Amino acid sequence: MDAAAGDPWGFRQWNADDSAGEDVRYASVGQLSLTYWVNRPLRRLTVRNIVRLG
């Protein structure tokens, strides 16, 4: 989550085919994956989903 907060657009877009959804991103490190939304006007991240595999 710290990496996503430090560079929110550094991770890939959740659905690259959705031109209106460029602010929904997906980050994955090891067994942890995170889906988050970048709220540009408020300059905040909103975590949508956290999944831990294993």
What total number of domains does the chain contain? 1
Each residue's pLDDT tens digit, 26-49: 888 889 999 999 988 888 889 999
Predicted structure pTM score: 0.71
> What count of Cα atoms within 13 Å lies in the side-chain half-sphere of residue 1?
9
* pLDDT tens readout for residues 3-31: 887 888 888 888 888 877 889 988 888 89
Range of the domain at 24: 2-52
